[in-house]
Chain A
Amino acid sequence: GIQVEQSPPDLILQEGANSTLRCNFSDSVNNLQWFHQNPWGQLINLFYIPSGTKQNGRLSATTVATERYSLLYISSSQTTDSGVYFCAVLPYNQGGKLIFGQGTELSVKP
């Protein structure tokens, strides 16, 4: 089946720093989403981005579908950005089955 790899697994930043999280996937996909998991476990939608570039405030994402990777950029990080970031892909012909990466755990220090 399709493999989803996220890097780095852990990231520690000083408040105000910028970061780039990467998601590689092993086959063509129907769509791709980025999520932030809050301390209570809920997955918060960040981007639905099967291809192209999107921006939302300090966050932006780019997916290059032909090269099978996506990047999540966080600029001017804040302590509230801490948590786990997941990339998830939807393979073709598998209904609504999202395949998740293992996540990047981000810690932003004041």
Chain B
Amino acid sequence: SAVISQKPSRDICQRGTSLTIQCQVDSQVTMMFWYRQQPGQSLTLIATANQGSEATYESGFVIDKFPISRPNLTFSTLTVSNMSPEDSSIYLCSVEVARQETQYFGPGTRLLVL
């Protein structure tokens, strides 16, 4: 398994600003992912964070809006840029450990945009 932490745990931001969310894992992992969970909804995959190369984005998500970094095998960041109230969601990172197939999730970052 893996222990995952996220910072911040929650934030309230103003429209037009940007927020960077950090995800730290206690062991080296191959696959890291970022999900969004809008209020009352299920999880939607934003992108796969690739170590040493650009992230792979899902349909409907673009790098300009959600830039992702992954400088090493234990850390990744997701930035939510030029925020609007529609970006109010929980953002979760997840990891897959060494082909175990199971994905483990961080506690999430609860974002409210005013």
- Answer whether A and B are interacting partners: no
Chain A residues proximal to chain B, CB less than 8 Å: none
Chain B residues proximal to chain A, CB less than 8 Å: none
